[in-house]
Structure formats: C-alpha cells, structure tokens
Amino acid sequence: MAVVQLDSEGKGPARAVVIGARGFVGGAIADALAARGVECVRLTSDDVNLLNAGSGKALAKRIEPGDAVVVASAIAPCKDHAMFRDNIAMQAEINDALAASMPSHVLYVSSDAVYSDSPDPLTEESETMPDNLHGMMHVARETMLRASFPELPLACLRPTLIYGAGDPHNGYGPNRFRRLAQAGEAITLFGKGEERRDHVDVRDVAELGARMVMHRSSGALNAATGTVVSFMDIAKKMTDLADLAVEIVTTERQGPMPHNGYRPFDPSGVKRAFPDFAFTQPEQGFERLYAETADG
C-alpha cells in the first residue's frame, strides 16, 4: 500500500472540505492547506452532526465536485462498543455524502493503532489486525472507504502519539507531563515509565496531511519519527525544562504494558513519498512544546 502521487507537481485542489476542523489534527491540517492557498471549508459538528441519521445528505451539500475531502472526525479514543458503533455510523454518513458529491480525493486521518503488535519496526505494509477497539474502528473505517469507492483516490494518514501546544486533551505523555511540570505538580507514571513509544509533533502530521492532499496521494503513510523514547525519559525532560522541584512518581503496574512496552516504526515510507521532509525529533519537539507554552 505504498503511497502513489497522482499529482506529481503538487498543485493541489482549488478547495478542500475538512470534516472535523475543530479538532486538534483536523484544524492543523486545515491551517497547513490554507497556508498553501487552498480554500478550506472547515466543518464541525455544529455544521453537520454526523451522529444524526441522514446527516450525510446535509454533508453532501457542503461538498462540490472536484473538492478534496479530509476526514478528521472521530470519537476517540474508541474505548467501548457504543463508541465503536457511533464511529461506524458516522463513517456511514460520510460515505453517503461522498457517494452523492463525487470529490476528487479523500484523506482519511487514521491511527497507528491499526497495526498488530510487533517487536520489529512497523511499516505501511505491516499487518493490520489490532486487538483493541480503537484500532479495529480505524481499520473498519478505512475499509469502508476503500471498498465503497475503489476508483476514488484515497490516502490514509496513520499518526502515532501526537503532541503539540494546542492539544486540548490531557493524555498520558508529553502534553500531560508538560502541564504538570509547569505547574510544579508531581508526574505519576504507569509502572516505572519504561514503555518506549514514538511521539510525533502535530505540525509534522499536518504537514504530511497537507502534502498528501496537494499531491492527491493514494495509499497509506505512517506519521512516526522512527525514534522511540520512554515515558520516564519524557517526564525527566519536562522536569528539566521546568527547572522546578517536580517529583516523578513510579507506581506498581496494573496489567501488561500496552503494545508489550515497545512500538517502533520504520519512517522510510515517508522518505520515499516526500524525500525533502524531515520529522521533528523528540528532543527538539519537546523543547519547542515547552517554550511555546511556558507562559501558560
């Protein structure tokens, strides 16, 4: 499923419809496209609530023939069967809209959770048989798009753990640790924080997403730096940057480590797709995250 660039010059569409533009990633991709001169129609649940049956008809009216469509709307993380059902229902409405509007290209913002666990670095060709609902949900939604529109250019962007100054969530990792360190509060780790994961700057995700739209990319691409770092090391980095007496608390781990505690990626797919692109590495990215939020 290597990426193919259908627009080698990267001229891009005249217009892009971003579904989920109020979200952390959807908004960042919309900003990156707008910076390239693409007219962006930014849709949120206030415009079209995809949980409403028949909302696909309203969405179709917002999409014009020839538009690029960015699908960045999901209830995430998907934790239970009700959330899974709602996400599939939302995608069904999106599919109804796409069938009625005939866009020129679709970018689906997926997740690295689609991949099965492996001790070897993951690539875009790795097995996609996850054992968790979040990953299953994205696999199902990707499949719904691919099976329903075999002739429509479809790109799937699969980011790993995302961080950035505008993150509205408080997920375990750089974003939460930074907030705690800046407040002088203790950082509590799962176990000893020994899990090693890949973390990607939201601006890198947005840049890749925008490039995939501009080039009408087809296929899947992982947004992962290729560098794994432990949660303990992230906590230490944030406390060092805070220059405060912030305690790092280890705990007795309850249950096994997610992904067996190690989830590496091979970023060569991105290098082949966009040879001039370089990921922000953790050290640099965490320092920038802290600097951008140091005043609150």
Domains of the chain, with CATH numbers?
A: 4-162+200-223 (3.40.50.720), 165-197+227-263+281-290 (3.90.25.10)
Torsion sign across C-alpha atoms 168, 206, 296, 185: positive
Provide φ and ψ at 54, rounded to 5°. 85, 0
Over 9-58, what HEC string results? CCCCCCEEEEECCCCHHHHHHHHHHHHCCCEEEEECCCCCCCCCCCHHHH
Q: What is the pLDDT of residue 243?
A: 82
Report which of residues 64 and 254 the model is more confident about.
Answer: 64
Is pLDDT of 257 > 60?
A: yes
**Residue 17 identity (one-letter amino acid):** V
Which residue is listed with tokens 């007496």?
A: 245
Tokens of 141: 């939604």
Q: Kindly report, residue by residue over 114-145, the tens digit of the pLDDT.
A: 999 999 999 999 999 999 999 999 999 999 99
Q: What is the mean pLDDT of residues 78-97?
A: 98
Is residue 199 within 8 A of residue 282, CB to CB? The reply is yes
Q: Is 136 helix (H, G, I), strand (E, B) or coil?
A: helix
H helices, E strands: number in the chain: 9, 12
Is pLDDT of 224 > 70?
A: yes
Q: Partners of 4 in the beta sheet? A: 218
Q: What is the dihedral of CA 158, 254, 79, 20, to 10 degrees?
A: -40
Confidence of residue 296 (pLDDT cuts 50, 70, 90): low
Q: Which residues contact 47 (CB under 8 A, 6 or more apart)?
A: 62
CA nearest neighbour of 282 among 197, 165, 182: 197
Q: What is the pLDDT of residue 2?
A: 77
Q: Kindly report, residue by residue over 145-164, the tens digit of the pLDDT.
A: 999 999 999 999 999 999 99
Provide the percentage of residues in the chain whose pLDDT is more than 90. Answer: 92
Q: Which residues contact 134 (CB under 8 A, 6 or more apart)?
A: 76, 77, 78, 79, 111, 113
Q: What is the pLDDT of residue 168?
A: 85
Euclidean distance between CA atoms 139 and 136, whole angstroms? 5
Q: What is the pLDDT of residue 166?
A: 86
